[in-house]
């Protein structure tokens, strides 16, 4: 077509347009002048058009942006994994699991389409027929108080659930329709269905079909049968109604209706429909628990996550209860089971026959049904066959116990103070139950990897369900004699050796001109090597070492190891300060780790919902680890982890001496485990607390037992008889986790044969497998080895050996020494006011 021809066509079009508009305008003017009815109709039409535009502007002006759904992230719980990568827990206030569209079974999608929106794939967001039915239903129910059927498409439900809320009004319905049209313009049908099936509330605190599948059937969606899929499809209408056992008949009717719709829509055959209708609902009352029994450990993880990332969505995109974090922890479930069992058995063993320790809690029957109150209290116990219940009736020597499921049984073994409303622990007895005492004494236990600081297990009390106070990390207690190794380590750093002899007869201290000098007598009189003082937990020797090395240096060493900050007074050399099991265990781990201190960690790393690592506990650099091609040089390796808090040789010397505590000292109860164990017992003034901390060069365990409000535990209570047996049970229950390889010494340590009683060097004999052998290997720094023993030394050593055998025959020297010397005597009052 030529340019002139194009111009001619354009002119013709303009001519026709002008002529037709003029004709229409003329017709409109003529009608307007001649017909009143036409004027009224035209005016009404204009008003309606303006009203429609104004209404649209009014409703649409503050609607959310539909495009925001493209970046919408479902609020997801945090999933916690153990050391082996298996899921051990999740932090969730709602049950949510996000799936992608291909993950949803086809029949499940078809069930929801049949139940909610069979024209979903053909409409543009609003179903005209469904909307008309909804309007008719709404008008017919005006004034009745009944709620009209929604008539909402799946797209409208997405708009309502995610962007608008559940307000019941015509205005909200109109906004919903506008927004649904917008959503259809920015999202595909599959994307809309994915949002819907992940977000729809389906009862039992579950959102989305995967969470509901677990809540109602304890199955993943891929494992559901047809009749179960149809049941899930009925829940959007009334999830709390159809999910209850009392409404099973109504749920069956609605489920069968959905199955009929699926057959009518061609999604299933008649035979499949009949087979599915013949099946019962099959709802489970309680789904399988995926959480490890590690309440104290998992609560410690939760606290750290909240501190770092926030609690709810308002705190940030990676919050604990909405961010969908994946957390890899150092929790070893097998070690945790062993730790829980060991501490509980130790507490029950100590409690013995002391009788009932009072109720766990009380319930006021005037506040409502006792079974509902008990269930909502979340008080329970998971130990052997124990149960927690409430005393529903007490009349003289008879009583009944009730449980959260409403069951009531006869109760026997009634303490005088027991009354109705008491929440107590019970054990089966005959055709009823018998009162069981919860140990009044509590304690804490921690197991830590020495080389990396990873906490493998943590038990902060008898049962987390009874008390969430974590005594492993929150209870500040006097560590007693477990502090002594760090006093001896300070002495080794200031010129002493394991063979240095220290006077154990008495300790004299000048208290000022008015009080003068005060002297305190020790246990066994005489001078003894450092090893003897540590093995037998001699208080006088410990104070002598601390004062000689300088208490300023001692408390600095203690602070460098993260135990605590104390004043330079002699009492703190005997454990008069306060610390936690976690801190003490980490300090002992530094002894095993050649003096390198690692902060104890419960989290290895954290990933966001997309798998990106956003936190890592081990931040060591590894130059060359990510090179695309090997350069022929030695393999790149990570550097050492932790901070060098003490001399590596000193740490090994101290650990080596602590092995004697297990071999011959106050922790001989651990002797028969066949492991190269080291450690130290502790018994504080009173005694109020008893301790043991120790292990191997790879794993360290620490435990204490005491009352939450410190009080006397009884004169017989000792670290070697109460705390050390707890560690023994722990090791026996997790024996395959403990290596029997001997400790490795750092560079600069010389192993020398010595007489263990005199500390003198021996050249004409060898150590034996007898733990009480006179000749042992001792660790020394270069040029600090002792002189050779003399004949007089050998005679004195023989005399000591005979005396030791006599004492052993009378009842055991180790226990006697523990009782007399492992206590932290009150230096201020009982031993002369030393300060």
Q: Which residues are catalytic?
A: 116, 481
Residue from 673, 795, 776 nearest 727 by CA: 673
CB 155, CB 192: distance < 8 Å: yes
Q: Residue 777: beta bridge partners?
A: 753
- What H or E segment, with its residue span, contains residue 704? strand 699-706
Phi, psi of 159 (to 5 degrees): -60, -45
Alpha carbons 359 and 430: distance in angstroms, whole number: 23
DSSP alpha helix (H) spans, 494-635: 530-535, 539-549, 551-560, 581-592
- Give dist(CA 773, CA 132) in Å, integer: 98
* Residue 675 CB contacts under 8 Å (≥ 6 apart), including other chains: 696, 731, 738, 740
Asked whether the beta carbons of 668 and 652 are under 8 A apart, the reply is no
Tokens of 671: 């002797």
Give me the long-range contacts of 660-663 (CB less than 8 A, separation at least 24).
660/531, 660/534, 660/535, 660/756, 660/776, 661/534, 661/535, 661/537, 661/694, 662/694, 663/535, 663/771, 663/772
> Which of 429, 443, 427, 335 shows the shortest CA–CA distance to 387?
427
Round to whole Å and give the CA distance between 378 and 361.
11
Give the rounded distance of the alpha carbon of 536 from its chain centre: 38
**Is residue 506 classed as helix, strand or coil in its secondary structure?**
strand
Helix (H, G, I), strand (E, B) or coil at 27: helix
- Strand residue runs (E) in 450-602: 455-459, 501-503, 506-510, 517-521, 527-529, 596-597
Helix/strand/coil percent split, the chain, to 5 = 45, 15, 40
Return the exposure string of 407-439: e unless at least 16 CB atoms fall within 10 Å of the residue's CB, then b: ebbebeebeeebebbbbbbbeeeeeebebbbbb
> Are 340 and 293 within 8 A, CB to CB?
yes
| DSSP 3-state of 433 | strand
φ and ψ of 609, to 5 deg = -65, -20
3-class SS letters over 85-126: CCEEEEECCCEECCCCHHHCCHHHHHHHHHHHCCCCCCCCCC
Q: Are 249 and 255 in contact (CB under 8 A)?
A: no
DSSP code at position 636: P
CA–CA gap between residue 38 and residue 390 (Å, rounded) = 82
Beta-strand relationship, 87-91 and 699-706: unpaired
């Amino acid at each position: 077509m030529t340019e002139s021809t194009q111009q001619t066509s354009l002119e013709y079009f303009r001519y026709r347009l002008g002529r037709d508009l003029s004709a229409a305008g003329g017709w409109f003017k003529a009608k307007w002048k001649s017909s009143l009815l036409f004027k009224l109709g035209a005016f009404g039409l204009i008003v309606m058009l303006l009203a429609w535009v104004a209404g649209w502007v009014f409703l649409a002006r503050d609607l959310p942006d539909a495009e925001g759904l493209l970046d919408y992230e479902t609020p997801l719980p945090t999933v916690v994994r153990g050391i082996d990568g298996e899921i051990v827990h999740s932090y969730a206030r709602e049950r949510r699991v996000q799936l992608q569209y291909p993950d949803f079974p086809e029949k499940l999608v078809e069930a929801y389409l049949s139940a909610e929106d069979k024209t979903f794939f053909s409409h543009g967001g609003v179903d005209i027929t469904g909307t008309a039915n909804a309007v008719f239903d709404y008008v017919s129910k005006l004034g009745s108080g009944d709620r009209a059927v929604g008539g909402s498409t799946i797209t409208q439900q997405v708009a309502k659930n995610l962007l608008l809320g559940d307000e019941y009004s015509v205005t909200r319905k109109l906004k919903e329709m506008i927004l649904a049209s917008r959503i259809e313009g920015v999202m595909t049908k599959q994307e809309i269905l994915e949002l819907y099936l992940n977000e729809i509330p389906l009862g039992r605190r579950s959102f989305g079909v995967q969470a509901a599948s677990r809540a109602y059937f304890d199955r993943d969606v891929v494992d559901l049968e047809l009749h179960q899929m149809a049941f899930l499809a009925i829940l959007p209408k009334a999830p709390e109604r159809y999910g209850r056992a009392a409404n099973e008949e109504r749920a069956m009717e609605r489920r069968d209706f959905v199955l009929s719709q699926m057959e009518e829509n061609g999604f299933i055959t008649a035979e499949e429909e009949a087979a599915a209708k013949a099946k019962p609902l099959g709802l489970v009352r309680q789904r399988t628990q995926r959480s490890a029994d590690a309440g104290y450990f998992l609560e410690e993880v939760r606290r750290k996550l909240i501190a770092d990332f926030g609690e709810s969505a308002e705190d940030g995109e990676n919050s604990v209860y909405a961010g969908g974090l994946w957390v890899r922890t150092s929790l070893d479930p097998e070690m945790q089971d062993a730790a829980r069992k060991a501490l509980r058995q130790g507490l029950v063993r100590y409690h013995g026959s002391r009788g009932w320790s009072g109720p766990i809690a009380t319930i006021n029957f005037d506040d409502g049904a006792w079974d509902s109150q008990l269930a909502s209290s979340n008080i329970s116990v998971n130990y052997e066959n124990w149960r927690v219940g409430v005393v529903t009736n007490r009349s003289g020597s008879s009583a009944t116990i009730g449980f959260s499921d409403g069951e009531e049984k006869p109760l026997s073994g009634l303490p005088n103070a027991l009354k109705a409303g008491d929440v107590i622990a019970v054990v089966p007895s005959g055709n009823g139950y018998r009162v069981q005492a919860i140990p009044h004494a509590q304690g804490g236990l921690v197991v830590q990897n020495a080389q990396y600081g990873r906490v493998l297990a943590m038990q902060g009390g008898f049962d987390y369900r009874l008390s969430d106070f974590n005594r492993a990390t929150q209870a500040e207690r006097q560590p007693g004699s477990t502090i002594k190794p760090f006093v001896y380590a300070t002495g080794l750093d200031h010129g002493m050796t394991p063979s240095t002899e220290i006077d154990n007869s008495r300790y004299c201290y000048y208290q000022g001109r008015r009080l003068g000098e005060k002297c305190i007598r020790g246990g066994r009189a005489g001078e003894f090597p450092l090893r003897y003082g540590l093995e037998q937990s001699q208080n006088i020797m410990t104070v002598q070492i601390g004062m000689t090395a300088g208490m300023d240096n001692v408390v600095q060493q203690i602070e460098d190891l993260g135990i605590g900050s104390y004043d330079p007074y002699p009492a703190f050399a005997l454990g008069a300060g306060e610390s936690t099991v976690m801190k003490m265990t980490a300090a002992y781990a530094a002894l095993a780790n050649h003096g390198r201190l690692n902060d104890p960690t419960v989290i290895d790393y954290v990933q966001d919902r997309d798998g990106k690592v956003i936190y890592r506990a081990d931040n060591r650099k590894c130059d060359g680890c990510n090179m695309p091609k090997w350069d022929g040089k030695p393999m790149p390796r990570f550097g050492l982890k932790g901070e060098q808090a003490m001399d590596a040789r000193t740490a090994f010397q101290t650990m080596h001496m602590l092995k004697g505590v297990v071999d011959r000292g106050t922790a001989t109860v651990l002797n028969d485990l066949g492991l190269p164990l080291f450690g130290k017992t502790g018994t504080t003034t009173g005694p109020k607390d008893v301790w043991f901390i120790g292990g191997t060069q790879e794993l360290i365990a620490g435990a204490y037992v005491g009352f939450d409000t410190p009080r006397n535990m009884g004169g017989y209570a000792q670290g070697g008889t109460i705390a050390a047996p707890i560690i023994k049970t722990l090791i026996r229950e997790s024996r395959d986790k403990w290596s029997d390889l001997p400790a490795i010494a750092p560079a600069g340590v010389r192993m020398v044969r010595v007489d263990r009683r005199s500390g003198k060097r021996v050249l004409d004999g060898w150590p034996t497998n007898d733990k009480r052998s006179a000749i042992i290997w001792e660790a020394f720094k270069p040029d600090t080895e002792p002189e050779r023993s003399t004949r007089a030394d050998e005679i004195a050593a023989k005399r000591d050996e005979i005396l030791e055998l006599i004492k052993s025959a009378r009842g055991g020297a180790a226990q006697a020494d523990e009782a007399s010397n492992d206590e932290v005597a009150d230096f201020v009052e009982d031993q002369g006011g030393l300060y």
